[in-house]
Amino acid sequence: VKLFVSQSGLYRVTYSDLQTVAPALLAGDPRNLVLTHQDAPIPIHFSGEDDGSFDPGDSFFFYGEALDSLYATDNVYWLTDGGSPGLRMSTRDGTPGGGTPPTAYTDTQFYEQDKLYWQAVPNGTGKDHWFWDNLKVSSTTPVAVNHTFSLANIAPSGADGRLRLTLHGVTSGDHQTQIYLNSTPLLTATTQTWSGNVEKVYDVAVPQSLFAEGTNTLRVESSLPAGESVSELYVNHFEVTYQDTFVAENDRLAFTAPQTGSFTIEVSGFSAADVELVDTTVPTRPVRITGASIQPSGGTYRLRFSDAVTAPAAYIAQTGSQFDTPALELDTPSSWKSPENGATYLIITHPNFFDAAQTLAAHRAAQGETVAIARTEDVYDEFFGGIPDPQAIRAFLQYAYANWSPRPVYVLLVGDASMDPKNNRGSSLPDFLPAYFVDTPLFGEAPDDAWYAKVNGTDNYPDLIVGRIPARYASEVDTVSNKVQTYELTPPAGNWVRRAVLVADDEDPAFQTDMEAVAARLPSGVAPVRLYDYDPNTSVSQEINNGTLILAYSGHGNANFWGKWGWSHRIFQQSYISSLTNDSMLPFLTVANCLNGFFSSYLQARGLAEQFLLVSGKGGVAAWAPSSYAFPSVDSTIQDKLYQAILTDGDPILGSAATTARTQALIARPDLPVALFEAFTYFGDPAVRLNLPAEFTLDGAAAPNPVTMGQSLHYTLTYVISGTTQARGLVLENLLPPQTTYQSASPPPSTVYANTLTWNLGDTPTGTYTVTIAARVKTSGVAHGQTLQNQATLSDASGYPQTAQTGVTAHDSPIGGLSASNDSPTRLGSPTTLSAAVTEGTNVTFTWNPGDGSGTFTGASPQHTYPAVGTYTAIVTAANAVSSQTATTTVVIGNVPPSASFTSSSPDLLGQPTTFQSTSGGTNLTYTWDFGDGSLPASTAQPTIQHTYAAVQSYTVVLTATNDAGTSVATGVARILNLPTAAFTSSTPDRIGQTTRFTNTSQFGGDDPANVTYHWDFGDGATSTARNPTHIYAQVKSYPVVLTVYNGVGSDVFNDTVTITDVPIAGLSATSDSPTPLGSATTLSAAVTEGTNVTFTWNPGDGSLPKTGANVSHIYPAVGTYTAIVTAANSLGATATTTLVTITDVPPVADFFHTAPTLLGQPTTFQSTSSGTNLTLTWNFGDGTPTAGGASVQHTYATPGVYTAILTATNSAGSDSASAPLRIVDVPVAAFTSSSPDELGQTTLFTNTSQTGGDDPGNVTYLWRFGDGVFSSA
């Protein structure tokens, strides 16, 4: 069981405490219970163990000490069953003797609060970096801070005490400090001033009388020294030494012996008699003082004891109720401190990430590593007594390195760190896996994970390869694990692994020089992408998104950006990372600037390097960056050593290369601070292998050369893989010459498509490999002497191709077995196919002499048309580049049998000749024509003949075609016609809208009407091709109509006129919407039941001008009855009718306003705002005077008062009244009385006795001026 102690004092553990946490410990002999601290036994005092049983009511107590640590707040003690009696607290007799007890002892109280962190404490190694206050003064007004502390039961007098105040200067100039205790200054003018950014301790004597019972105030004041513009310092802590009395405070008192030798001490003020007294001079070996006297004393208890000591002694006395109870926790045992363990890959993780770390552990185990995962709590327990501290982790690593087999090679730390591991500030980020801090120039404390790697000897060279996943959430560990597995097992294809993006700050040419040094080390297959002149907002992000194997930066920067501090632009910054889209194309990020790797900030969860690693679906696979300020000489050295290790010395394991770089940099520059080299932190899995693409070559050979067409050809491809890693996704593709046919290959290809052979070789280790291919050269499509090119391409997943071309020369094979034939007998005029073939030979050319004197031609199966009937001997010669042969074949040509057909020029006009044209098939024909009109047949060898017919008629014509192969007959019709005569009649005249009918009376010249065509033009843009059409016209007018008639020999035109008239008017009616109020428009409406193109003209009947339209509006000038006349007219005539219109008055609506209130004797004006027409207005003024008329009147009232005026408006439509009150008032008379005279301070009352002139007092306003500048409106 672990017991946690937060402050020094006596702690008790009871039966019930253990029963809750570890009941198994209660089952054994309590005498065997052992308490330890840092593996050393601590004595306890056990009550009730003598019976060998831990029973209810039993308990033990021990003295626990507060922990002084940078990393933890609680000290840890261990309770175990040791199997044999444990160490118990010794006793010493304290039976009181004689003598007078002292009344006081010297007490010291220490006060400190860690609120402010100062990272860059000068020469800060081993110094306190946490302070209480910061005092910065830059004017003549001092700045100060007050701290109160409480002292109880102090001695009223005695020897002087001490005040020890520790300060630390920030600025390097002078400081002027004054210290006040309870408002009394403690420093003289000569001791107030001190200088420098150093620690300053004031140790000042303080009279005992200056200490106060209860609250005391320490004031630290800083003033600006002469000649300084600013003075800044920190307040660290203070302690006071004073004379205290032997009086318990809250039933507890820790005190010291007043002297060496023998003495008797009496402590009073306890509320109970169960006081334990323990000598704590040696805290790890406390002694219980027994035999002391405890007596009642005035409602409390007094402890009295005697002792004798040879050196200053310390004691603590307290009642049982004031014993503290430690926090208890049951330990889960672990066994890392055992030589039986072994691992080459060791993960140390905060428990929050233990489960998430299993994925990466399994991956490394699958890669052949022996993997172990240790929780930080187990490491603290076994190697530092359960107290969180980097020393525990390094002690673990030292043990494992010295005792395990196999010993660790790789160490992965999983968890983020904080500069405020104890959360002194109260709002700092948690410290999951602590960092060891070293002092670095200018920056001060910086996290140093390289310190964990130094486990063998005292040199500064790392012995382990250490990396860190600075996770705050398990999901971030998952992210890194997934990135590593994807990167190593299934990296995306593409040329991204053959790109290295090198970014240099353009502020100093030295940064570009650093990047050129990296570029010079790149292998030939990796191209540098230099960003020395860039768009600071987009260039770096764009190149990352394009994919890159390495992303390297040299220049200025801070924790979150690249670029010089204070510049408005950023070359690249942390906020850009979330917008990256590089997916699984994960680069290795190296940064040689300031602070990109500062991962222990207690304010900001992430630095740029951390974020680049931890972001999901983008960013990088690992990062290497400094956690402190950087300097060019350091950066250039270690960066070059890193890339030397990876690219030149052939170590692609990134963590290993980073470790080598640190060692080689320390060797190369022993003059530079070690801490600056160690500040370069590797983030990520230290065993990640950089996906450096392999180098490979490809060569080809072929045999035999030359090769005879039809023979087999053998190709040999040889490829060599070299470099530090296997070739990923290797593919060999061979394209055989198209003049060959694939036969076989060894090893067999993965796929064969036509002449393309593909070997999907996958991930291929370094070595030399051979592929052989057999192919047969084709016997056609290949020219003698032609070079046959074979092309092989070898490429990896990055698309990096190597090609090899191999050429051989093809030769013809000799000719053998020539034969000739043809497809005759052939009809004259048709082509005869001549055919030649050989049984052997390539690229054979066949040359023919057809035997008809027409010349030679070439081809294996040419066609030739012979000129005449007969028998011919055709000769063919076959030849190629190496041989020739000749053969003959007999060809027979005969006539083509007749197939009669003809055309004619019919129809033709009577008296004109008709032309007949034979279109018959056949050769050497004789034509015989029978024209069908009784004339003699005509015979001719010519295909064309003419004949003139004597009458209009259709004739049947017969053609007979004859040659020695037979006879054929064809018939046809010849039509002889006269010209047509066009004519028509129509139903005109017609009314508009009616259908006009046309009757065709044309003569067709003897032709069948079905063969005749017609074209009508109706004169309004419409046409028709009907024989007897109809048409509806849209307007009243006369239209010219044209008919054109066509037959087979000519046409004729006929013209006539069609007349269209209006429809007569009938059924005229007229109406209005009256009666209408005067001034409003009256609508007059007219309509007809029949008639077209009708116009309506109105005479309103009031003497006004006429109006036109079927519906018109008209405003009549006066009330009355009017007769409105409307006339309807079109082209055929006009008719008229009337309608009566009645105009009435607008009904009255009375309304008015007046000018009252009016002063008595003055006229009041009344103005009508009534609406209506022809109004008569009557006014009643409400005072009994006669009424008046008119739109605007005046009236003078005789007496003040409120009157009601009434206006009545009347016309022929009725009457209406409106009324309104009005006030007639006289001039007011002001008056008041008061309660004066009144005494000063009393309220003076004022009574208003004014006359309001007849007005309602509510309408009167008042203004009081009291004569003293005060006003009122009451």
| Residue 544, CB-side half-sphere exposure with 13 Å CA sphere | 30
End position of a domain, from candidates 872, 894, 916: 894
| Contact between residue 1210 and residue 1176 where contact means Cβ atoms under 8 Å apart | yes
Residue 355 within any structural domain of the chain: no
Q: Which two tokens stand for residue 25?
A: 């410990």
- 861 and 728 together in one domain: no
535 has a pLDDT exceeding 80: no
End position of a domain, from candidates 297, 329, 361: 329
- 1234 and 1262 together in one domain: yes
The domain that holds 555 is classified in CATH as 3.40.50.1460
Q: Write out pLDDT tens, residues 130-151.
A: 999 999 999 999 999 999 999 9
Q: Which residues contact 1004 (CB under 8 A, 6 or more apart)?
A: 980, 1012, 1045, 1047
Distance CA 829, CA 826 (A): 8
The domain that holds 151 is classified in CATH as 2.60.120.260
- 1083 and 1035 together in one domain: no
- 1032 and 1003 together in one domain: yes
Stated as kind and residue range, the H or E segment containing 365 is helix 354-366
961 has a pLDDT exceeding 70: yes
- 519 and 616 together in one domain: yes
Residue 1243 within any structural domain of the chain: yes
| pLDDT tier at 258, thresholds 50, 70, 90 | confident
pLDDT of residue 72: 96
Angle at 1273 between CA 1271 and CA 1274, to 5 degrees: 115
pLDDT of residue 411: 98
1239 has a pLDDT exceeding 90: no
Q: Write out pLDDT tens, residues 228-247.
A: 999 999 999 999 999 999 99
Residue 443 within any structural domain of the chain: no
Picking from 445, 507, 455, the residue whose alpha carbon sits closest to that of residue 130 is 445
Residue 400 within any structural domain of the chain: no
- 783 and 890 together in one domain: no
Q: What is the mean pLDDT of residues 1013-1027?
A: 93
603 has a pLDDT exceeding 90: no
| Contact between residue 808 and residue 773 where contact means Cβ atoms under 8 Å apart | no
Q: Write out pLDDT tens, residues 1064-1108.
A: 999 999 999 999 999 899 999 999 999 889 999 999 999 999 999
pLDDT of residue 15: 97
Q: What is the mean pLDDT of residues 655-663?
A: 97
376 has a pLDDT exceeding 90: yes
Mean pLDDT of all residues belonging to the chain: 94
The Cβ of residue 1029 has, within 10 Å, a number of other Cβ atoms equal to 19
Residue 277 within any structural domain of the chain: yes
Picking from 339, 454, 334, 337, the residue whose alpha carbon sits closest to that of residue 404 is 339
- 851 and 995 together in one domain: no
Residue type, 717: L
Q: Write out pLDDT tens, residues 871-917.
A: 999 999 999 998 999 999 999 998 899 999 999 999 999 999 999 99
Q: CA 756 → CA 558, 735, 775, 783, distances in Å?
A: 55, 5, 12, 22
pLDDT of residue 536: 73
End position of a domain, from candidates 867, 894, 921: 894
1124 has a pLDDT exceeding 70: yes
pLDDT of residue 1048: 83
Helices (H), 547-650: 608-614, 632-643
Q: Which two tokens stand for residue 771?
A: 């592929």
pLDDT of residue 626: 96
> How is 710-776 classified by DSSP, letter by letter?
TSEEEEEEEEEEESSSPEEEEEEEEE--TTEEEEEEESPPSEEETTEEEEEEEEE-SEEEEEEEEEE
| Contact between residue 625 and residue 447 where contact means Cβ atoms under 8 Å apart | no
Residue 316 within any structural domain of the chain: yes
Task: Indicate if the alpha-carbon torsion angle 837, 839, 845, 849 is positive or negative.
Answer: negative
Percent of the chain with pLDDT over 90: 85
Q: Which residues contact 1178 (CB under 8 A, 6 or more apart)?
A: 1187, 1188, 1189, 1207, 1208, 1210
567 has a pLDDT exceeding 70: no
Q: What is the mean pLDDT of residues 336-363?
A: 98
SS3 of 1052-1072: the string is EEEEEEEEEECCCCECCEEEE
Distance CA 25, CA 29 (A): 9
pLDDT of residue 569: 67
pLDDT of residue 1005: 87
852 has a pLDDT exceeding 70: yes
Rounded to two decimals, the pTM is: 0.67
| pLDDT tier at 1182, thresholds 50, 70, 90 | very high
- 118 and 237 together in one domain: yes
| pLDDT tier at 791, thresholds 50, 70, 90 | very high
Say if strands 826-827 and 756-764 run parallel, antiparallel, or are unpaired.
unpaired
- 165 and 212 together in one domain: yes
Stated as kind and residue range, the H or E segment containing 707 is strand 707-708
pLDDT of residue 1274: 83
Range of the domain at 753: 695-811
- 35 and 141 together in one domain: no
Say if strands 550-554 and 499-504 run parallel, antiparallel, or are unpaired.
parallel
pLDDT of residue 844: 92
Q: Write out pLDDT tens, residues 386-445.
A: 999 999 999 999 999 999 999 999 999 999 999 999 999 999 999 999 999 999 999 999
- 884 and 776 together in one domain: no
The domain that holds 953 is classified in CATH as 2.60.40.10
Per DSSP, what are the bridge partners of residue 5?
Answer: 75
| pLDDT tier at 565, thresholds 50, 70, 90 | low
8 has a pLDDT exceeding 80: yes
- The structure tokens 């005072």 sit at 1183
Q: What is the mean pLDDT of residues 665-684?
A: 95
Q: Domains in the chain: how many in total?
A: 10
Q: What is the mean pLDDT of residues 254-264?
A: 92
Stated as kind and residue range, the H or E segment containing 655 is helix 654-668
Percent of the chain with pLDDT over 70: 100
Angle at 190 between CA 185 and CA 195, to 5 degrees: 105
> How is 957-976 classified by DSSP, letter by letter?
EEEEEEETTEEEEEEEEEEE
Residue 484 within any structural domain of the chain: no
Residue 427 within any structural domain of the chain: no
> How is 1233-1256 classified by DSSP, letter by letter?
EE--S--TTSPPPEEE--B-TTS-
Helix (H, G, I), strand (E, B) or coil at 66: coil
Distance CA 483, CA 497 (A): 15
Q: Write out pLDDT tens, residues 719-762.
A: 999 877 788 889 999 999 999 999 999 999 999 999 999 999 99
- 755 and 742 together in one domain: yes
